Amino acid sequence: MDTSTIQSLEDQFTTGLFTKRPIAIVRGQGAHLWDADGKEYIDCVGGQGAANLGHANPAVAKAIADQAMRLISCPEMFYNDRRADLEQKLCGLTGMGSVYLCNSGTEAVEAAIKFARLLTHRTGIVAAMRGFHGRTMGALSATWESRYREPFLPLVPDFNHIPYNDGAALRAAITDQTAAVILEVVQGEGGVRPGDPDFLRLAQQLCQERGALLIIDEIQTGFGRTGRLFAFQRYGLQPDLLCAAKSIAGGIPMGATLLQSRLGKLPPQVHGSTFGGNPLACAASLAAIDIMVSERLPERAEELGTWFLGQLRQIQSPLIREVRGLGLMVGIELKQKVTPYLQELMARGVLALPAGMTVMRFLPPLVISKEDLGAAAEAVQEVLCA
């Protein structure tokens, strides 16, 4: 199918929810993508964070194919070998005690909110301004952006938002009715804003003192993105509840909510998911995690990310307000809207994404070569200095 056929079919039958760019991506390999006209791109969108391993990884593809020939469906009313392996692996890597498996980021957050209410017998949730936690009603209630919230009001009650990195506001917001504080370690959609380590540690301390639970949302920062397997590990944090998704299963849809062992077991039947913990996603996740660890992708993200940030910081452009990031989660805040510059980058063969209206975001697969990152930085320089 050529681009215009693909485009007119999607335009006819899609809901209209998505603002699409006028290319059709049909193939990928590592950090490269190809459109239906055969044009090649350097991918710094990385499946919006789901493609940390890059595209068409043969070990992940083989794990999926093998498992598909063996068993795809197995609800959690039965035990399963792949699920058992994955649960053990996820808990071992994070230091958590138990895990609930689901199918997306928003579901992982939804579960964390429900578990926090269940475990504390409280209702309040404190979240951060510019925080993003998903689009289902509970997760959306924790999300800050009014564009996402307002069409769906009223949302779930007892959520409030404090400024990110504001310790005094946090101290004032956590009460004896607070079930949980939910935070990203680096705010992603909100503009690639790294958390202040002191603020994050204060959140943990205040939660402990006041009987609230700390939910860390690592849906975007997880699985090597920021230079550690999980970003919380940089700061010596120990979340009570940890949300993961995106790159958890090599691009196959999956989410996970992990619980600290001191929280014990949850009562039976109060939550669940038909697809959650299915052997296909579990097999993909096991393969993906093996590669991340054996190929030292977090370390790679740390090294390449530091280098890439350095390259971007050398760009002298009056359009740039700030360059910031952690590992290979990188943002350039402009003094104006980013859309035209992202289009210019695409014309030069580099795909990047926005984070809000004024931040250009780069989430390349962690397997990207230094040459490709250098070429991306050069394209940014051309676009912002034209």
Ligand X SMILES: *Cc1c(COP(=O)(O)O)cnc(C)c1O
Residue 122 or 361: the one with the smaller Cβ distance to ligand X is 361
- CB under 8 Å to 131, separation ≥6 — which residues? 142, 143, 144, 161, 164, 182, 183, 184, 187, 190, 217
- CB under 8 Å to 128, separation ≥6 — which residues? 144, 161, 162, 163, 164, 182, 183, 184, 187
Rounded alpha-carbon distances, angstroms, from residue 25 to 36, 272, 316, 374: 6, 34, 32, 23
Indicate which residue of 35, 43, 217, 240 is catalytic. Answer: 217
Indicate which residue of 35, 115, 132, 240 is catalytic. Answer: 132
Residue with tokens 């034209």: 386
Instruction: Say which DSSP state 30 is in.
Output: B
Position of minimal CB gap to ligand X: 105
> Closest by alpha carbon to 286, among 336, 318, 252, 260?
252
Indicate which residue of 199, 246, 362, 372 is catalytic. Answer: 246
Residue 220 or 278: the one with the smaller Cβ distance to ligand X is 220
Is 217 tagged catalytic?
yes
Tokens of 109: 């957050």
CB of 179 to ligand X, least distance (A): 18
Contact set with ligand X (CB under 6 A): 104-106, 109, 132-134, 184, 188-189, 217, 219-220, 245
User: What b-and-e string marks burial along 329-368, b requiring 16 or more CB atoms within 10 Å of the CB?
Assistant: bbbbbbeeebeebbebbbebebbbbbbbebbbbbbbbbbb
CB of 132 to ligand X, least distance (A): 5
Residue 188 or 239: the one with the smaller Cβ distance to ligand X is 188
DSSP reduced 3-state for 229 = coil
CB of 243 to ligand X, least distance (A): 7
> Closest by alpha carbon to 185, among 135, 146, 141, 133?
133
Is 132 tagged catalytic?
yes
CB of 257 to ligand X, least distance (A): 12
CB of 219 to ligand X, least distance (A): 4
Residue 184 or 302: the one with the smaller Cβ distance to ligand X is 184
Q: In this structure, what are the phi and psi dihedrals at residue 26, rounded to the nearest 5 degrees?
A: -125, -10
Is 78 tagged catalytic?
no
Neighbours of 294 (CB within 10 A): 9
CB of 354 to ligand X, least distance (A): 13
Active site residues: 132, 217, 246
